[in-house]
Amino acid sequence: MERTIAWSLYVAAFVIAVVVFIAGVYVGTILDKSDIQTLSKEVESLSQDLATMQLLYLIDDNSSAFCPLYESELSSIEEKREKLGYELTFLEDKRKIEAPELKKQYFILEAQSYFISKKLKESCNDKTIIVLYFYSNKNCTDCGRQGVDILSARDTVATRNIKVRIYSFDGEIGSQVAEGFMRQFAVSQYPTTVINGDVYSGYISKDELIEKFSK
Amino acid sequence: MELIDILNYSVAFFTIYTTVFFLLLFFKYKKDYYTTPKWSGNTPLVSIVIPAYNEEKYLKKCLDSILTLDYPREKLDVIVVDDGSTDRTATVAKEYEKYGVRVFSKKNGGKGAALNYGIERARGEFIATMDADSYVTPKVLKELLPYFEDHEVMAVTPAVKIAPSNSVIREFQRIEYLMILFSRKLLSYLDAVPVTPGPFSIFRASIFKEIGGFDEHNLVEDQEIAMRIQQHNYKIRSSVSDDSTVYTEPPDNMGDLLRQRVRWQRGGIRNYWRYKFMIKPEFGNYGMFFIPLNFATLSAFFIVLGLLLNAIFNNPFYTRYILLESVVMSFNMFTVIGVFVLLMSFVWLYAAVSSFKSERIKLRYILLFMIFYWYLMVCYNVLMAVAEIRREKTSW
C-alpha cells in the first residue's frame, strides 16, 4: 500500500490546540490578577485594624490596665500580618508574580505594627523579642537560608514560651520605610538581623539565633 | 522563562494537541465509524487457533461460542493447542473432538510458540487467533471477512469488549477496553493500527509465510506482529460494529490485572524501541505520528511525574504557616492549563465511550475511572515496567 501523511489534520489540530492553549493562558492571567486583588483587600483590612489600635493607644495613653487587651489585639493583628507576608512571598517565590507596590504597602503595615509592638514592650512590660530582618531577593546568596533559620529558631524557642515577632524588609524594592529602618540601624549588607535593637550583619546560624532569643 | 515553565507548557500543549487530533479524526470519519464492508457470500475456509495454558475454567465457553458461529461448520477448522497445561484444559478440549475440533498438546513454550504451532497445522485461507478466555458473538466472521476483499488487507481486528457487570473494577476495565477500541478504530483511518489483539483477530494465512509467525520471545506478541505487518506496508483494519463483538474475560483480581498491564507496558516499550527505525515518511502516519507519539507520551509521563514531585517536595519552608492558602494560591496559570488538559481528556474519554451506542456506562463510572484508575494505573504500569525492563523474562 502507498502510505500517506494526513497533513491537513495535523495542521488543523495544531491550530485548534493553540487556540485552546491561549485560552488557558488567558484564564490563568485573570486568576493571577484576582490573587493580587485579594491580597490588596487583605492589606486594606489590616491597615484599618492597625489604625484602630493606634487610636486606642492615643485614647488610653500609658494606661497599663489595658495591656491585656492590647496584647490580644496585637496578637490577632500580627497573625493576619504574618499570613499576609507569607502569601506575598509565596506569590513572588512560587508564582513569580511581582507586586512591588503591594509589598511597599505591606512594609508600611509592618512598620506600624513594629512601633506598636515596641510601645507595648515599653508600657506593658511585654517580653516579646522583636526582630527586624533585612534581605534582598536580588543580591544575597544567604538570605533564603537566613529567612528559613529565623523562622525555625522562632518555632524552637516558642516551645520554651519565648515569643518572637519578626518584621522582614526587602531592602531593594525602593520602599522608603525599609530604607528608613536601614538608615536607623546602619544596615550595610544583606542579610542583616536586628534583635531587640542589637544589629547582626551577615548570616547567623539557627543555633546562634536560638541562643540570642533565649538570653 | 525557566526550564520548569517550559516543561509545564510543553506537556500541556502536547496533551491538548493529541486530544484535539483524535477528536478531529473521530468527527471526520464519524459517518463511517460503524460501517463494515458488505459480505459477498463467499465462505472461505477459516482456521481458528486457540492456544490454551491452564484454561479449564473458560475453554468450554470459548469453544461453545465458536461452534455456534453463523458460518458453515465445514468451513471452520478449529485447533486447540494445549501449551503444557497442568489442569484439565486438554480433557475439556478433547470433549470437542467429536465436533471436529483438532486438539494438540505440546510442551509449555509460551503463547507465541503455541500460536505458531497451531498456525503451522492450520489449513484455512484465513487464520483467526483466539484467546481461550474469550468468546465470540455469532456474526463476527461474516462481519470481519469482507474486509479482506481488499487484497492489501492482511489482518482485521474485532470489537474486543468486556461484558457488563456489577463489579466496579470490571466496569473500569470495560471502559478501558472501549477506549482502546475507539483509538484502534481511529488509528485504522490513518493506516496505523498498532495491535492485532489475541481474541479473534483474523489474518490472511499467506502473511505468516511472507513475514513469519508470532515472535515467540515477545511479551506482547499480538502487538509485535501488527508492527511487522505495518513494516511491510500492509493494511490492518479494525471493526467496532456490534456484530463484530468478541467478549474477553478480564483478570479476576487486582494482582493479576496489574501484572498483565505491566507486561503490556513493558512489552510495548520494548517493541516501540525495536521498531523505531520506522520513524520515516515512507511509513506514513504510522512512522511519523504513531511511533513518535508513544515516545512523546512516555517522556511526558516522566516530566509530569518530575513536576509533581518537585511541587510536593520543593515547597518553601514558610508555606507550612499558610498551608491552605498556599494550596489555594497554587491554582495558577499552569493549574488552569492543567484543568483544560483534564477537561480535554474527559471529553475524549466520553467521546470514546459514547461512540458505542449499544454500550451503556454510567457517567459516574467514567469520572471515577478517570480519577482513580486511568492515571494511577498508567503511573503504576510505567514505573513498574521501567523498573522491570532490564529483566528478559518472557512468559504468559
Q: Are residues A110 and A148 in the same domain?
A: no
Does residue A2 lie within any of the structural domains? no
Interchain CB distance below 8 Å, A90 and B331: no
Q: What is the pTM of this model?
A: 0.80
* Contact between B316 and A94 using a beta-carbon 8 Å cutoff: yes
Q: Which residues of A touch B289 (CB under 8 A)?
A: 5, 10
**Would you state the pLDDT for residue B253?**
82
Minimal-distance CA residue of chain B relative to A149: B317
Please give the Cα distance from B305 to B301 (Å, whole number).
6
> What is the grid cell recorded at B287?
512512522
8 Å CB contact of A32 and B332: yes
Please count the helices (runs of H) and the strands (runs of E) in chain B. Answer: 15, 10
pLDDT digits (tens, 9 = 90+) for A63-121: 667 788 888 888 899 999 999 998 888 888 777 777 888 889 999 999 999 998 988 88
The mean pLDDT value of chain B amounts to 90
Residue for grid cell 463511517: B32
Tell whether A134 and A189 lie within a shared domain: yes
B190 vs B185: CA distance, rounded Å: 9
Kindly determine whether residue A13 and residue B20, on different chains, have CB atoms separated by under 8 Å.
Answer: yes
Q: Is the peptide bond before B138 cis (omega within 30 degrees of 0)?
A: no
Q: Cα(B54)–Cα(B91) distance, rounded to whole angstroms?
A: 11
Kindly report the number of other CB atoms within 10 A of residue A196's CB atom.
Answer: 15
State residue B87's pLDDT score: 95
Q: Are residues A85 and A183 in the same domain?
A: no
The last residue of one of the domains, among A126, A152, A186, is A126
CA neighbor of B49 nearest in space, from B77, B69, B86, B68: B77
Nearest to B336 among A12, A27, A91 (CB): A27
Note whether B219 and B394 are within 8 A (CB): yes
Instruction: Kindly state the average pLDDT of the residues A172-199.
Output: 93
CA distance B320 to B88: 61
Amino acid at A201: S
> A72 and A98: one domain?
yes
* A4 falls within a domain: no
Parent domain of A54:
17-126
Chain A positions touching B340 (Cβ under 8 A) are 20-21, 23-24
Cα separation, B4 vs A197, in Å, equals 42
Q: Give the CATH number, domain containing residue A114.
A: 1.20.58
pLDDT at residue B393, as a whole number: 52
Last residue of a domain, one of A93, A126, A159: A126
The Cα–Cα gap between A9 and B179 comes to 21
Average per-residue pLDDT for chain A: 88
**pLDDT at A37 exceeding the cut of 90:** no
**Chosen from B318, B331, B334, B348 to mutate, greatest number of chain A CBs within 10 A:** B318
**A70 and A113 assigned to the same domain:** yes
Give how far A2 is from chain B: nearest CA, Å: 8
Q: Which of A22, A94, A151 to mutate to test the interface with B (most CBs of B within 10 A)?
A: A94
The pLDDT value recorded for residue B334 is 63
What ranges in A60-128 are assigned the alpha helix state H? 67-93, 100-123
Residue of chain B with shortest Cα separation from A6: B285
* Residue A67 sits in the same domain as residue A99: yes
Q: Please state the domain count of chain A.
A: 2
Whether this model's ipTM surpasses 0.90 comes out as no
Inside any domain, residue A140? yes
Region for A125 from its dihedrals, namely left if φ exceeds 0, alpha if ψ lies in -120 to 50, beta otherwise: left
Question: Distance (Å, rounded) from C-alpha B157 to C-alpha B152?
Answer: 15
Judge contact between B195 and B184, C-beta under 8 A. yes
Give the domains, in start order, of chain B with CATH numbers. Answer: 1-396 (3.90.550.10)
**CATH number of the structural domain spanning residue A180:** 3.40.30.10
pLDDT score at B15: 86
Buried b (16+ CB within 10 A) or exposed e, B140-166: bbbbbbbbbeeeebbbbbbbbbbeeee
Average pLDDT of each block of 10 consecutive residues along chain B (396 residues)?
A: 80 89 93 90 96 96 97 97 96 96 96 97 97 96 96 97 87 93 96 96 97 95 97 97 95 86 90 95 95 92 82 76 74 67 84 88 87 83 80 53
Among A107, A126, A145, the domain-final residue is A126
Query: What pLDDT sits at residue B331?
Result: 64
Q: What pLDDT digit, counting tens, does each position of B310-364 carry?
A: 777 777 777 777 777 777 776 666 666 677 778 888 888 998 998 898 888 888 8
Does A152 have pLDDT greater than 60?
yes
